[in-house]
C-alpha cells in the first residue's frame, strides 16, 4: 500500500474535522460575543481560546473578568 501524499493527508484530516466544527462553531460565536460584551480586547479572547482547553472555564473566566474579580479567584474558579 503506497503512502498518501501530504496533500491527501491534509485533505482527509480537514474532511474528518468538519463534523466537529458543526458543534464547535456556535460555541466560538457565543464566546466571541461574550468577550465583546465584557469589553475585552479581541486579542485577549483569542489568547484565551488558544490557551484554555475547557470551554466552560472560558465562559466562567470572562464573566469573572467582566465583574472585575481578582486574579486568584478567577484562576481558582477556572482550575476547579
**What tens digit of pLDDT does each residue of 3-45 get?**
889 999 999 999 999 998 888 889 889 999 999 999 899 999 9
Reported confidence tier of residue 1, pLDDT bands at 50, 70, 90: low
Residue entry with cell 479567584: 73
**What tens digit of pLDDT does each residue of 50-79 get?**
888 888 889 999 999 999 999 999 999 988
Instruction: Locate the domains of the chain by residue range.
Output: 26-79
Sign of torsion over alpha carbons 58, 63, 65, 71: negative
Alpha carbon separation from 71 to 47, 62, 64, 76, 77 (Å, rounded): 16, 12, 9, 9, 10
Amino acid at each position: 500500500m503506497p503512502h498518501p501524499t501530504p496533500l491527501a493527508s491534509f485533505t482527509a484530516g480537514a474532511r474528518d474535522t468538519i463534523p466537529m466544527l458543526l458543534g464547535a462553531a456556535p460555541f466560538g460565536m457565543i464566546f466571541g460575543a461574550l468577550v465583546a460584551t465584557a469589553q475585552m480586547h479581541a486579542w485577549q479572547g483569542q489568547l484565551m481560546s488558544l490557551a484554555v482547553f475547557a470551554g466552560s472555564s472560558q465562559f466562567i473566566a470572562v464573566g469573572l473578568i467582566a465583574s472585575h474579580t481578582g486574579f486568584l479567584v478567577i484562576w481558582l474558579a477556572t482550575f476547579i
